[in-house]
Amino acid sequence: MSAPQWAWEAARRFWADVGGWAHPADLRAAIDRKGLMLRVDGVAGLSTDRVRDYLARRGISIPRGSTDRPLRGCLMAGEGDGWIFVDADDADDERRFSLAHELAHYLRHHLEQRGHSKGTTGRLRAALRGVRLVEYLHLMERGAGFVSPDVRDAEEEADWLAVELLAPEEELSARLSPNAGRVEIADVLRQTFGLPESVAAIHSARLIPYVFECPLIARLKKY
C-alpha cells in the first residue's frame, strides 16, 4: 500500500510549510498559513455559467461556453495565484474533497510547472480589480464522460495528491489493522478522514488492486 513518491513528497512539503498536518485537516487555514494567493469560495448550484456570472459581478470577464455544465469544483489560476470554487450545496465531505482536488491541481499542475514554491501577491489582487489573468483552468465536472489520456492522468494525479493532503499515508496506516483490506481502508478514509464514500472506495481500490489469476495457472503453480 503506497502512494506515488511525488504525491507523498508534495503533501509533506505542503504541510511542513504550514506547521505540520493535524487532524482534521483544515485546508483553508493551511492555504492562508502557506501564504498562497489562493481564494476559496462556495457557490450554490456551481456550474460553468454560475462561475462566469459570479466573476462578471466582480468585473472579471470569462467567455461564455455554448453549454452550461454542473461542477463540483473549479480552479482558475494566474501567475502563482488563483481562485477555487466549490459547490456550496454539496455535503461537507464532497466540498472537502473538491477543495483538496482543486488545490492538488494548483500545486501539481500550476505552481510546479511554473517553478513557484510560494504564492505571489499582486496578480490575484489585479484580477479582483477586473483584470483578466487566467493561465490555468480546471473544471471538476459532475458525472463521467470520455476524457483524453492526458486529462485522465492529470485527474488521477490530482486525486492521489488530494487524498495525501487529507489523509497522509502514515496517518492512514496507523489507523489500520495489519492485514487491512479494501473495506476497512474505505471505512477509515470515510469515517476518520472525512472522504466521500465514492472517493474512499476508489482510493482503497488503488491501494489494493484486484489481482486476477486464471484458475488453470493457479493449479499449475502447485506443481
Residue count of the chain, please give it. 223
DSSP for 84-141? Answer: EEEETTS-HHHHHHHHHHHHHHIIIIIIHHHT-SS--SSHHHHHHTT----SEEEEEE
Write the secondary structure of 192-211 as one string of H (helix), E (strand) and C (coil): CCCCCHHHHHHHHHHHCCCC
What was the pLDDT predicted at 213? 45
Q: Global pTM? A: 0.84
pLDDT score recorded for residue 131: 34
List the one residue out of 209, 197, 206 whose CA is nearest residue 160.
Answer: 206
Distance between CA atoms of residues 14 and 100, nearest Å: 12
187-200 pLDDT, tens digit each: 999 999 999 999 99
pLDDT tens-place values along the chain, 223 residues long: 588 999 999 999 999 999 999 999 999 999 999 998 899 999 999 999 999 898 888 877 777 777 889 999 999 887 767 899 999 999 999 999 999 999 999 999 988 777 644 444 444 444 434 434 456 788 888 775 666 788 889 999 999 999 999 999 999 999 999 999 999 999 999 999 999 999 999 999 999 875 444 554 444 444 4
